[in-house]
Amino acid sequence: MEYPWGHQRRFNAYSNYFIKTFGQRVQKVSINAGFTCPNRDGLVSSGGCTFCNNQSFNPSYCDPKKSVTQQIEEGIEFHRVRYRRATKYLAYFQAFSNTYAPLEKLKEIYQPALDHKDVVGIVVGTRPDCIDDEKLDFFAQIAKEKYLIIEYGVESCNDASLKAINRGHNYQTSVDAIQKTHDRGIKTGAHFIFGLPGESKEEMMAMAPIISKLPIDNIKFHQLQIITDTKMGEEYLANPEKFTFFEPEEYVDFFIDFAEQLNPNFVIERFVNEVPARFNLQENWKMRNDQLLNLFEKRLEERDTWQGRLYKEE
Ligand code: SF4
C-alpha cells in the first residue's frame, strides 16, 4: 500500500523525503558558529535549560574558532568516509541559538554556507523567542532560492513542564514563531522531548492533536536523556526516584500510539536519540537508534497501523 507521503513505509520518513526533495541522499554537516543563547547569557536566564549540554551532540570537527567554511569542509570530509552515497550537504547550524545576533552578523555567518558549492541548503536551529520580523525577512529571501528550514526547540506544549526545565519561554511563543515563519514561506521544524519530569503519558499523548494543528514541515522527538554536566543530571543523581523513564520497547509502542494521531503531512525526522555513552547518566537505555527504528517499523507492521491513521483534520 502506498501512503499519502508517496511510499510504502508506514510513516512519513525523513530519508525518503530527502531523496524526493533532492533526488539523492543528502547529509547534514553540523556547524558551531559561535552563537550563545539568551537562556544562558542572562537575557532570559543564566542557568540554561536543565537538560542542556551542547557538547553532547557537538561533532569533533565543530569548533567556533574555525570559520564556517572550514567546518563545512571538515564536516564533508568526516561524512565522506562514513556515508559514501552522499554528495550533497545541508549546513546544519545546530549549537546554541543560531538567530541570536544582530542581522548584519547573521548575514556574515550564513553567506559562506550559502556560497559553498556542495551545500544545497541550510538548517537553522534556534529558540522561538530569538526571531523577529527583520530576521524572518532575511531568511525568507534565502528560502526563495535555496532549501532553508528554521527548527524551533518547542520541547513540550505544557507550560508547567517548560517552567520546570527552565526553558524561559512558554508554548504560545513557539506557536507564534512557527506561524510567523510559515507565513513568510519558510519551512518550519519543531523539536519535542518525551518524558520531561512530572509529565504523564496521558499529557504527552494529548500533545499529538495540539501540535498537529501547527504549520510544521519536519518534526523531531526524542525520549528524555539525562546528560552529564547538566542541572537535570545533578537533580537525577541526588534524587533518582523522582524520575521515571520509558523502557525502549515501551517507548516504541508509545510513539506508535502518538504517531497514529499525528498529522501525516509532518515529516518525522527522528523519534529517538542516543547521546554518546560518556554523556549518558541513564542506565536503562541500551538500544541503538537503528535497532529502535527497525523495531518501530516492525511494530507498525504487526499492529497494521501508520502515521496519521487516527488523525482528525479540524
Ligand atoms: S537547550 Fe538551547 S535554549 Fe536551552 S540552554 Fe541549551 S542552547 Fe539554550
Question: From CA 191, how far away is CA 211, in angstroms rounded?
Answer: 11
Mean pLDDT of 209-218: 98
**Residues 132-146 as b or e (16 or more Cβ within 10 Å = b):** eeebbebbbebbeee
Q: Does pLDDT of 313 surpass 90?
A: no
Instruction: Give tens-digit pLDDT for 237-261.
Output: 999 888 888 999 999 999 999 999 9
Q: Which of 182-186, 225-229, 239-243, 310-314 has the highest mean pLDDT?
A: 182-186
Decide whether any atom of ligand 1 lies within 6 Å of the 10 Cβ: no
Q: pLDDT over 90 for what percent of the chain?
A: 80
* DSSP one-letter code for 230: S
Confidence of residue 132 (pLDDT cuts 50, 70, 90): very high
Question: From CA 186, how far away is CA 146, in angstroms rounded?
Answer: 10
Asked whether 70 and 113 are in contact (CB, 8 A), the reply is: no
Min mean pLDDT across 43-57, 130-144, 152-166 is at 43-57
pLDDT of residue 155: 97
**DSSP codes of every residue in 178-209:** HHHHHHTT-EEEEEEEE--TT--HHHHHTHHH
Instruction: Give tens-digit pLDDT for 182-203.
Output: 999 999 999 999 999 989 999 9
81 versus 224: the higher-pLDDT residue is 224
How far is ligand 1, taken at its centre, from the CA of residue 76, in Å? 26
pLDDT of residue 285: 80
Question: From CA 36, how far away is CA 131, in angstroms rounded?
Answer: 14
Superfamily of segment(s) 14-302: Aldolase class I (3.20.20.70)
Confidence of residue 7 (pLDDT cuts 50, 70, 90): very high
Asked whether 218 and 266 are in contact (CB, 8 A), the reply is: yes
CA atoms within 13 A on the CB side of 145: 8
How far is ligand 1, taken at its centre, from the CA of residue 206, in Å? 25
Report domain extents, the chain: 14-302
Question: From CA 95, how far away is CA 44, in angstroms rounded?
Answer: 18
Decide whether any atom of ligand 1 lies within 6 Å of the 192 Cβ: no
Decide whether any atom of ligand 1 lies within 6 Å of the 96 Cβ: yes
How far is ligand 1, taken at its centre, from the CA of residue 56, in Å? 12
How far is ligand 1, taken at its centre, from the CA of residue 314, in Å? 33
How far is ligand 1, taken at its centre, from the CA of residue 304, in Å? 38
Q: Quick one: how far is CA 29 from the chain centroid?
A: 14
Decide whether any atom of ligand 1 lies within 6 Å of the 13 Cβ: no
* pTM score of the predicted model: 0.95
